[in-house]
Structure 1
Amino acid sequence: MYVWRNAEGVLVFSDSPKPNVKSDTIDVSKTPNIIQSVDASIISGDTTKEDLLDVVSIDIVKPLDQDTIRDNTGSLYINGLIKPSFKRGMSVVLKFDDKKVAGPQKSAVFILRDVDRGEHRVQLEVWNDSGKVIAVSKPITVYLHRASVN
């Protein structure tokens, strides 16, 4: 496989080199294109509602564990990822320093304002439509730096 940048700076991939253009080669035989298959029981409906809930997981994708955020306004943006996907009846709750501070809501994106500087613990929970916790993220620690006037 060949790759080069066109006049606008966009990467172009091709199976043949472009004449009079310096291109790099990529050996694609080393990394096969493999796609994870889906459990057929989910598609066919052979599983119960409880079985589907058992496979739900949530992770905090932003910020990362041990990240240092520098924001003088004290704003903190938290983004979660639910797997396999967000389903009807699910909601997400944000726990900040081991206290519920936001949610339940239908999105895994949270914005906190005027957060105090220092070390904070963040965790997300997925609730079903009955309010039962069905998934909990691994807690992360973040550090917020705000300028102080001394």
Structure 2
Amino acid sequence: MRYWLLLACLIALPVAADVFTYVDAQGNRVFTDRPGSGNAKRVPLAPSNRMSANPTAAVPVAAGKKTEAKAPFHYDMLRVLVPEPDATVRSSAGELIVSVTSEPGLQRGHRFRLLLDGEAVAEPGPSPVFPLSNVDRGSHNLSVEILDEQGRTVERTANQPFHMLRISLAQKRQVKPCALDDYGQRPECPLKDKPEEEKNSFLPFF
């Protein structure tokens, strides 16, 4: 036990010091740094693994920059103003003007896109007014979207129904019959349909 304790203490000595060992008169193994005894022998020691008292501080690894995801902008209100829900539009050419609005106003880089029966009817743009023409007779649905810079949908309205009533030329003639002066002036009164004027026959008297 004492042998190992002495050995541990000597190993802890600086590596520059020499260590010697011998057996004393009582038969005990003795370790010392003084080669005084005649039978003392040098003990070979392996170099110790000592660290510097002021080790270089570890350089912290720079954490990768995290790009904070920008929260999408939220509009408080988006809706179709004209035509009103379930409105009936009368146009022989199937024409109507669609107007939309948002609150707050359209943000920079955002665009409106109008959908008719789920299909885009024009290129997205900043204008809230969309002229449509040649819309088929019958019931349809309108909705509007707001797109961001990447073309992603920010907001979208629910489908809003309206009804297109296209009056035929024959129906217009029934409502307002064509007079002689109307032919060539009203679309429902083409010149080709203008009746021939009756010629008055006049027999000269002798």
Write the distance in 2 (CA, Å) between the matches of 1:67 and 1:97. 15
2:107 aligned with 1:79, yes or no?
no
Q: Flag structure 2 segments of 5+ consecutive residues without an equivalent.
A: 1-68, 172-206
User: How much does 1:121 deviate?
Assistant: 0.6
Map 1:1-150 onto structure 2 (within 5 A): 50=71, 53-148=73-168, 149=170
Q: Flag structure 1 segments of 5+ consecutive residues without an equivalent.
A: 1-47
- Greater Rg over alpha carbons, structure: 2
**How many pairs are equivalent?**
102
Judge conservation of contact 1:56–1:134 (CA < 8 Å) in 2.
Answer: no
Judge conservation of contact 2:148–2:154 (CA < 8 Å) in 1.
Answer: yes
Q: What amino acid sits opposite 1:104 in the alignment?
A: P
Residue 71 of structure 2: SS of its match in structure 1?
helix
Judge conservation of contact 2:75–2:102 (CA < 8 Å) in 1.
Answer: no
Q: What amino acid sits opposite 2:162 in the alignment?
A: V
Percent identity, aligned pairs only? 26
User: How much does 1:111 deviate?
Assistant: 0.6
Write the distance in 2 (CA, Å) between the matches of 1:104 and 1:141. 21
Residue 104 of structure 1: SS of its match in structure 2?
coil
Give the root-mean-square deviation of aligned CA atoms: 1.8
Judge conservation of contact 1:67–1:141 (CA < 8 Å) in 2.
Answer: yes
Q: What amino acid sits opposite 1:142 in the alignment?
A: F
Judge conservation of contact 1:57–1:135 (CA < 8 Å) in 2.
Answer: no
Residue 16 of structure 1 is matched in structure 2 by none
Query: If the length of structure 2 is used for normalisation, what is the TM-score?
Result: 0.46
